[in-house]
Amino acid sequence: MSIFRTPQVILFSEDVTRAAAFYAGLGFTETFRVPTEGDPIHVDLVLDGYRIGVASVASTRDDHGLDPVPTGQRAAVILWTDDTVAAYEKLTAEGAPALKGPHVWLDRLLIAWTADPDGNPVQLVQHLPAG
């Protein structure tokens, strides 16, 4: 029997509100916020049972004694879609950086890369029809 359950990824951010708004714009629903009013130091969001958290760099340093890296490609959020091209065009049109346009990978996936406001890569993936 495993002693672990309900995994999630926490992304460190200098601006938790901005990062949470980005993921809410992708369809994630906010499920947890501390504090409940004012500038949050931590927000959890869920999409199709997948939970991510956004934690303040300052809070992580001050409250937990860690030294998180606040920017760059430290982790990637993977989002499956039925239309990679449309999803990529929508996100980049809304200001998300274009890291790599749609391209076929492994002859069965269409993949594109953009990033969230803190520079974490966001991969958009679509299954291609067997051919």
Helices (H), the chain: 16-25, 57-64, 84-93
At 78-125, the pLDDT tens digits run: 899 999 999 999 999 999 999 999 999 988 989 999 999 988 889 899
Residue 36 burial by Cβ neighbours in a 10 Å radius (0-12, 13-18, 19+): exposed
Q: Which residues, 6 or more positions from 79, have their beta carbon under 8 angstroms from its beta carbon?
A: 26, 47, 87, 122, 123, 124, 125
- The whole-chain average pLDDT of the chain stands at 90
At 33-84, the pLDDT tens digits run: 999 999 999 999 999 999 999 999 999 999 888 888 877 777 889 899 999 9
User: In the predicted model, what is the mean pLDDT of residues 7-15?
Assistant: 89
| Domains of the chain, earliest start first | 1-70 (3.10.180.10), 73-131 (3.10.180.10)
Query: pLDDT confidence of 4, banded at 50, 70, 90?
Result: low
The reported pTM is: 0.81
